Structure 1
Amino acid sequence: MKLKRLVKPLIFILTIGLFAFLITTLTTAENATAAHEPAVAVIKTDSSKQESLYDNMRLDSAGLSREAFENALRGYQHLEETGRIKNPDVISIIDFSLPSTKKRLFVIDLKNKLLLFNTLVSHGRNSGKDIASTFSNQMNSFKSSLGFYITGDTYTGEHGYSLRLEGEEAGINDNALSRGIVMHSANYVNESLGKIQGYIGRSLGCPAIPENIHRKVIERIRNGTCLFLYSPDKYYSAHTKILGRDSTAS
């Protein structure tokens, strides 16, 4: 009788123990499976709503055209991939779609997404009066040359502290050094003159900048940064190899 009385409690205890064992086993298995499952992104972004660097920096409000900026980045990436750029943090763009009375030199810190300088810059006297519309790579043309440049070293010459520019595009601007195309200061690059005559002074083809800021600009972009001179020019668009033949002209 005593044995019979012990059987039922014993069966009950064994049943509870088996149930607890099964629950523990299943839970452990589920956790192990979850640990091997690929992570699922918690935050999903809508790519159509992501702002480009141009939009993020609001460069349109500064006057830089989107096409000038996008073409500049394309060429910059090509020059960086080919090892031409020594200082990839900065890119400079001259937007010749703007009149000379507008601040059309843009020096951009790509690393920190900052517009470092936005100032006036001249074009060659034979490229046009207010708007630069014709360009040349020829000696004594006194015209500006479009396209991509790599900044070189500095020197003190006829126009004071100046920056050598190496043209990267054959037949388009590769005569820059022999033509003496450099960045320098000029007293004729000023807003007052632009207001009086409707355009600032013009150079012999050099991108001259104001005297009160030229040293700071040159110091920031010298020795291996990318400089791009942009215009919606059909000849350039058809002949540039850095941008390819698919670049468009307006």
Structure 2
Amino acid sequence: MAETILVLEDDPAMQSFLTTLLKSQQHQVLSFSAGLEALQCLVTQPVDLILLDLGLTDMDGQDWLQQLRNWSETPVIIISARHSEHDKVQALDNGANDYVTKPFSAAELMARVRANLRKVSSNQQVFSFGDVQLDPVSRTVSRNTQPVHLTKTEYDILLLLMRNADKVLTHNQILSQVWGKTYIDRPEYVRVHMAQLRQKLEANPAAPSYLKTEPGVGYRLKVANAGSSL
């Protein structure tokens, strides 16, 4: 099945080039020049990858990316004439997966597109433990087949633990991945959200079978031979 790629680019010539290039590689393409219109489309039309120019007709691309990341993990490759390290770092901090500066070759861009699509494919498995399932594509969590509402932070912590099942993650590893590196050394943030996750997902939150505490270190999602002891 052909992957769908959204192109958000305000320059008509570049938009046409990208659309033609992607279609020549058998991708389906949705093209926009306005950020708001693209966001509205994404609400009802899921895509596999986004190519984003930072200079849009109605808003700054950095702001657009921040809005997207409030509810979507769709991979984003920035395509921009902005070469400064500050712009690149800001885009990556805002959730971009890759950054390509103009001018670029078609071969380089397609290599980056393929790399990011491979990551999407590898992340499409449904994770589970006990009676809990998490679907990273639809960003849904269920328990005994019933939907469970998680906040964005709770979901991000759970997904991180599930992708590292049976591996101990330190407080700072979780803080860095979920909140950002400026929040390290605030273990109380993790404790509060782990308590909420246990309330929602464990049969006995006071004696969790899966969401385990590693005293003085961090947390681990115990999948192999899960028992009821702390």
TM category, shorter? under 0.3
Structure having greater relative contact order (Cα 8 Å, sep ≥ 6): 1
TM-score by length of 2: 0.24
Instruction: Name whichever structure is richer in helix by fraction.
Output: 2
Greater Cα radius of gyration, structure 1 or 2: 1
